[in-house]
Structure 1
Amino acid sequence: MKKYISYALGAFGHDAFYNTLSIYFMMFVTSQLFTNAGDAKMVGFVTTLIVVIRVGEIAFDPIIGGVVDNTNTRWGKFKPWLIGGSCLAGIGLMLIFSDYFGLTTSNPMLYLVLFGITFLVLDGSYSFADISFWSMLPALSMKEDERTKFGTFARFGSTLGAQGVIIIITPAILLFSKLFGAKNGQQTQAGWLGYAIVVAVLCVGGAAITCMNTHEQQNKIRNNTKHTGVIEVFKVIARNDQLLWIALAYFLFAFSYVVNNSLLMYYFRYRLGNAGAYTWVGVITCILGVISVASFPKLEALIHRKAIFCGGIGVMLLGYILFLFAGTNLPMALVAIGLLFFPYPLIFLATLMAITDSVEYGQLKSGHRNESVTLSIRPLIDKLSGAISNGVVGIVAVAAGMTGNAKPSDISASGVMHFNTFMFYIPMVLLVISAILFFSKVKLSEEKHAKIVQQLETKLDANGDSEASTEVNTDTNAVPDRS
């Protein structure tokens, strides 16, 4: 239990960091950093830098996975990158939530240069920590039930971290703003920086707890590795047909979900005319996320992953249909949001566990093991879907007339149709295709994975490697556990 909770705390800080960076940083830029009429160009420069860096970095995720896989230290191969990447990312987060000691006004070009360098280091460091954290999963246990518990606790922590910031961000900013001399109800740069420092501490602290209390196993299956070059990294992915089908199904699902989620704030502001009610989204998703994640182990034992994935998409489709009928009805819209979000953690976990099991599948096919390269696919897909959705959301907002101080009554019927097409109709089609692909092409079931592990053990025993399974413990005075 100590290991499960420690892994969950790492995920908590990890996703609190991610949501702060992905959702709220641009709000800080537009509401606090550049607020004058002539600052539009600076906002554009900052936005362009972020998009270019994040999209460019996506291509390097498999290579980062290869670097992690090739690491060999006394602390294992994941922990140095997890704690080091988290520390650098935390420092970077605090820097970008500042004005660099007044450079935004005294020397804007120098600010842009320093911001670009900081964000590049921040994004790269976070990717190392992200890939290291999630690729620890197949190294923590070979047993299906234990893997499920680690994955479930991690998703529990990440749900609380990601959805919790939606609830606490405004009170936290107001609190720190007041502590640094602002009037009641006034947000300041210092308030935002105080909030960013808290998130950075949570991220680094969670990573430290994970590193101290979780230990990767060392056994004959995990020892079946070799140094992976840059070209070989992409060959490993290309040869794993089950990983590719899982990835394609998950990409369609993730992209449809992110587009819908990104347009939710527009829905509340320009369709419902009640931007303040958006806070309820954080409350509802946080509560439902906890319930959803807690139900995953029993559901997996009862109906297995494929049914969870496809059944979850069925529930989401019901949510979309209800959303279409909701129109400007707030209670009905909130119920629809609940139906849309509740299956999301379940589908995420079903995908995560399937990708985790594809490590052994790929090992059986290729003859050697690549944990981080394989697990790098999931964060790569999340980043890719997020980057594409950013562009889609901008286009939709302009096409629908949902910009500036427009009111719900200003949105034309054509604008509503444009908005509904991207928020509802296209995501529904993508979800259906995703479910069909996962149902028909993903053959890596829990039972098949158990047989693959047995085949690997038999094969490696036949090769004369009968080393007993132990855990790599960072405490050199401790006696290793035997499995």
Structure 2
Amino acid sequence: MNSKLLQRICYACGTFGHDVFYAMIGTYFMIFVTSNLFHSDNPSHDAYMIGIVTTIILVLRILELFVDPFIGNLIDKTKTRWGRFKPWVIVGAFVAAITLAFLFTDFGGLTVTNPTLYLILFAIVYFIMDIFYSAKDVAIWSMIPALSFDSHERDITATIARIGSVFGANLVTVIVMPVVLYFSLNQNGGAGDPTGWFAFACVGGGIATLGAIILGLGTHEQESALRENKTETSAKDVFKVLTQNDQLMWTAIAYLVYGIGINIVNNFNLYYFIYVIGDATKFSILGVINTVIGLIAVALFPALTAKFSRRKLFFASIAIMLVALLIYAGSGTNVTMALIGAGLFALPQPLIFLVVLMTITDSVEYGQLKIGHRDEAVCLCVRPLVDKFAGAVSSGIIGLVAVWVGMTGGASAADIKPDALFHFQIVMFAAPIVLMVIASFIYRAKVTLTEAEHARIVRELEEKWEDLSK
């Protein structure tokens, strides 16, 4: 096996574990919170606690908007014998996995015996988890522009990495309910019990940490004069870097609006199978479907962008997802139709992720030419920052809607009233359709950084940096 192929496989192992973790915290943690975390004899108190936890998560994620760029700036200034990024990936994975396991518990019964102390400890542990996860997230995806300056080569590297992450995210969909129910002592209406969810957290955190270690052992950064900044970005200039890079910011805004929409659907998928269809075991089938079609879609990404361009691929993907939501919304309790709609909705998601990731990656050179210095991690931190913020907003929506429509505690499909089901479907299907249409208009009007434009920028940079080095 040649060294380039080995490096790509090791990098994909890292992204595989990384998306296992992301799916756990971004999608399934709120299901644990709403169905298992609070179990007092007072349902209204439990609903109140769910609302407080949801609010804490949202507030911390908003605060993180101001922290992540500084994490990226710190990573950009890191110089070690192991490179700029790998120490952050490995340490971040280890700390995040340990703290995640704690979050999937009630801290020794404090949710009942001392709710106030529980909320304080929850906020502290969640913040620690989120900061270290953020450092890992920024570092792992910031490695792409450090591996190559060629847009097509970056497409290939990102494709292989995304194959790993798609497999990781969808593996969680496959194993979540089997693992939870296997370790659970009480099935709890098909949602499992706290013991099962804690076991799930330990398994997922272990996989994420192992993937980070493999990435650390098997990857190497490319050395280039273009990666040597003539001046470093100071902490007070971090936000200036972001605001002056208009292509980075407009891409991020479009991706944020889109991300809130798809996260609402993705986070509600398991709720749909538990509380609408009434059979959580069928949810694993969706995981298998999404894994297969996701891997196929990602594998085709370089060929699709070469033939149609990233821009056209973005709009085609949005169109497919809108059709999928209409099918999904009309499926009712029909498992086959629900699987077709949900699977078709998931099909283009890896493609849009890659389009956005490559555009943000290319914005590194765009900003370097425009501002005069290179900020790899500061620019690349925007994508995970947007992902996490969109996930926090959608998690807040999920928690509030779950309480609103009665999809909490030991409720089953038979307990959901028709008007509550209607409200659930409006939030799960109609709202995301509106958000994705808005995102498409923003992207079409404001994002102009194409592959050809990036190639021109790189040529100009090489000439400029060569003149400066003389």
Answer yes or no: same fold by TM over 0.5: yes
Deviation at 1:191, TM superposition (A): 4.5
Deviation at 1:204, TM superposition (A): 1.7
Deviation at 1:357, TM superposition (A): 0.4
Structure 2 match to 1:120: 127
Deviation at 1:73, TM superposition (A): 2.3
Distance 1:320 1:368, change over 3 A: same
Structure 2 match to 1:92: 99
Deviation at 1:359, TM superposition (A): 0.3
When Rg is computed on C-alpha atoms for both structures, the one with the higher figure is 1
Q: 1:437 aligns with which of 435, 442, 445?
A: 442
Q: Secondary structure at the match of 1:262?
A: helix
In structure 2, give the amino acid aligned to 1:219.
S
Q: How is 1:264-279 mapped onto 2 (pairs within 5 angstroms)? A: 264-279=269-284
Q: 1:312 aligns with which of 310, 314, 317?
A: 317
Contact kept in structure 1, 2:274 and 2:413, CA below 8 Å: no
Q: Distance in 2 between matches of 1:177 and 1:405?
A: 17
Q: Distance in 2 between matches of 1:409 and 1:72?
A: 56
Distance 1:402 1:21, change over 3 A: closer
Distance 1:75 1:439, change over 3 A: same
Deviation at 1:101, TM superposition (A): 5.5
Distance 1:425 1:72, change over 3 A: same
Q: Number of residue pairs matched?
A: 459
Q: Distance in 1 between matches of 2:381 and 2:16?
A: 19
Q: 1:453 aligns with which of 447, 458, 461?
A: 458
Deviation at 1:349, TM superposition (A): 0.5
Q: How is 1:327-366 mapped onto 2 (pairs within 5 angstroms)? A: 327-366=332-371
Q: How is 1:59-138 mapped onto 2 (pairs within 5 angstroms)? A: 59-98=66-105, 100=107, 110-138=117-145
Structure 2 match to 1:228: 233
Q: Distance in 1 between matches of 2:348 and 2:160?
A: 16
Deviations 1:115-135 (A, max 9, x none): 332222111111111111111
Q: 1:261 aligns with which of 266, 286, 290?
A: 266
Distance 1:137 1:225, change over 3 A: farther
Contact kept in structure 2, 1:51 and 1:387, CA below 8 Å: yes
Contact kept in structure 1, 2:407 and 2:416, CA below 8 Å: no
> Does 2:31 match 1:24?
no
Q: Distance in 1 between matches of 2:152 and 2:308?
A: 14
Distance 1:401 1:300, change over 3 A: same
Contact kept in structure 1, 2:268 and 2:428, CA below 8 Å: yes
Gap runs ≥5 in structure 2: none
> Does 2:58 match 1:51?
yes
Deviations 1:381-440 (A, max 9, x none): 11121222223334544665666456387213xx55544433333322322232233234
> Does 2:17 match 1:13?
yes
Q: Distance in 2 between matches of 1:2 and 1:442?
A: 34
Contact kept in structure 2, 1:33 and 1:99, CA below 8 Å: yes
Q: Secondary structure at the match of 2:225?
A: coil
In structure 1, give the amino acid aligned to 2:24.
T
Q: Distance in 1 between matches of 2:327 and 2:192?
A: 37
Contact kept in structure 2, 1:273 and 1:408, CA below 8 Å: no
In structure 2, give the amino acid aligned to 1:16.
V
Distance 1:365 1:293, change over 3 A: same
Q: Distance in 2 between matches of 1:139 and 1:156?
A: 19
Distance 1:238 1:4, change over 3 A: same
Q: Distance in 1 between matches of 2:397 and 2:114?
A: 33
In structure 2, give the amino acid aligned to 1:196.
A
Structure 2 match to 1:475: none
Contact kept in structure 2, 1:137 and 1:147, CA below 8 Å: yes
> Does 2:396 match 1:381?
no
Deviations 1:215-263 (A, max 9, x none): 1112111113532223311111111111122112212221111122223
Contact kept in structure 2, 1:6 and 1:209, CA below 8 Å: yes
Q: Distance in 1 between matches of 2:379 and 2:406?
A: 42
Q: Distance in 1 between matches of 2:77 and 2:19?
A: 26
- TM-score where L is the length of structure 2: 0.88
Structure 2 match to 1:200: 205
In structure 2, give the amino acid aligned to 1:241.
D
Contact kept in structure 2, 1:12 and 1:157, CA below 8 Å: yes
Q: Distance in 1 between matches of 2:285 and 2:403?
A: 26
Contact kept in structure 2, 1:400 and 1:411, CA below 8 Å: no
Deviation at 1:442, TM superposition (A): 1.8
Q: Distance in 1 between matches of 2:98 and 2:84?
A: 23
Q: Distance in 1 between matches of 2:287 and 2:224?
A: 42
Deviations 1:254-295 (A, max 9, x none): 111112222333433444444443333222212211111111
Deviation at 1:161, TM superposition (A): 1.2
Distance 1:446 1:270, change over 3 A: same
Deviation at 1:110, TM superposition (A): 4.7
Overall identity of the aligned pairs, in %: 45
Contact kept in structure 2, 1:272 and 1:408, CA below 8 Å: no
Gap runs ≥5 in structure 1: 466-483
Contact kept in structure 2, 1:271 and 1:408, CA below 8 Å: no
In structure 1, give the amino acid aligned to 2:122.
F
Deviations 1:441-468 (A, max 9, x none): 3221111111111110001111125xxx
Deviation at 1:165, TM superposition (A): 1.2
Q: How is 1:179-194 mapped onto 2 (pairs within 5 angstroms)? A: 189-194=194-199
In structure 2, give the amino acid aligned to 1:285.
N
Distance 1:358 1:85, change over 3 A: same
Q: 1:166 aligns with which of 152, 161, 173?
A: 173
